[in-house]
Amino acid sequence: MALEKKYILPAVIAGGCLILIGAWKLNEDSPSDAIRPSGVTPLNGVQSVGVNKAEAGASTSESLASGEGKLPPTTALPSGHEAAGTLNDQVERALAAMDGPMAANLAAKLKECEINLKILEVEGAQGARPNVDPAIQALRMERLQEYQRINASCQTVPGDRSRARLRLLDLAVQQGVVGAAIESFEAGSREPATLARVVSDASSGDVKAVSTVAMYDTKVFGITRDEQDAARYALKLASADPAIGTRVINYLKIAESYAVPNSSFDLSGISSAARTKGAENAERLKERLGKKAP
């Protein structure tokens, strides 16, 4: 089972210009700032996990400053059987039914809730704009009402939504949803099951998991140096592949920049076993990414 890909591309209109608040893509093609080990400063000039904004998406602060992007659709509510009842009803139903894929999708919705809240905060801070073209103002109000509707749905989830999201991700991890473990890890989970699943997903060719295993100290995941070298070698091979290289190169740059302890990924002393496993992992990366549109 794979974590369903969801694009989260909220925007607001300010002063007649469309401003992209953030772009998140919950799949292997989108590096996240949360992937970076805490307390580690970047090397080699790589300042953000979103190295290529056109591919990986800009961070919230960068997008606010740049004014890049276009007005996208909102996607905050699940469709089909998931959409019955409030967002909290859906969360409770997923947990009660132990529905892993549904839990993973709802975890993505709760992440979007936080993005949506940032949009509303920006809009509130900007206030009224009497000199804005009426057509632009009407469109802005239409979108603002949509974000308010989304926020009302998010508010049905009581308490700390980040905790609810972790519960959903934990369930998705338990149910074997590929991609859920790395989302849970980035959200702060260090449960043994989560860590083990990140390593497993990396071996299955999940590029986000491969990058994370490659950059963190081996003690974090309880892996050997050979296992980490295999992940690093897989990234190097995949980044040079003509079919998927452009979709992997940012992950390699990120992993090399924030790696602990060897930022250069010097694999001159890699063992034959690690080289073999790395080559196998690179093939799995190619297979997984090859099934997805760029």
Say what the pLDDT of residue 36 is: 52
- 8 Å CB contact between 258 and 220: no
Least confident among 19-28, 114-123, 139-148: 19-28
Say what the pLDDT of residue 109 is: 94
Beta bridge partners of 162: none
* Tens of pLDDT, residues 58-86: 332 233 233 333 333 333 334 444 567 89
268 contact partners, CB below 8 Å, separation of at least 6: none
Q: How large is the average pLDDT for residues 50-57? A: 32
145/236: higher pLDDT:
236
Q: Which residue has the tokens 């109000």?
A: 141
Beta bridge partners of 25: 7
Pairing of strands 11-14, 24-25: unpaired
Say what the pLDDT of residue 244 is: 93
**Smallest Cα–Cα separation from 8: which of 60, 45, 50?**
60
> Computed from CA positions of residues 71, 180, 166, 171, in that sequence, does the dihedral angle turn out positive or negative?
positive
pLDDT beyond 50 at 247: yes
Q: How large is the average pLDDT for residues 91-113? A: 95
Q: How large is the average pLDDT for residues 221-237? A: 96
Least confident among 112-126, 144-158, 191-205, 276-290: 112-126
Left, alpha or beta for 261 (phi > 0: left; psi -120 to 50: alpha)? Answer: alpha
**Smallest Cα–Cα separation from 30: which of 3, 65, 61, 68?**
3
Say what the pLDDT of residue 69 is: 31
For residue 210, name the pLDDT band (cuts at 50, 70, 90).
very high
- 8 Å CB contact between 66 and 54: no
The per-residue DSSP string of 82-108 comes to GGSS-HHHHHHHHHHHT-HHHHHHHHH
How far apart (Å, rounded) are the C-alpha atoms in residues 49 and 74?
24
For residue 8, name the pLDDT band (cuts at 50, 70, 90).
very low
How far apart (Å, rounded) are the C-alpha atoms in residues 2 and 106?
14
pLDDT beyond 70 at 148: yes
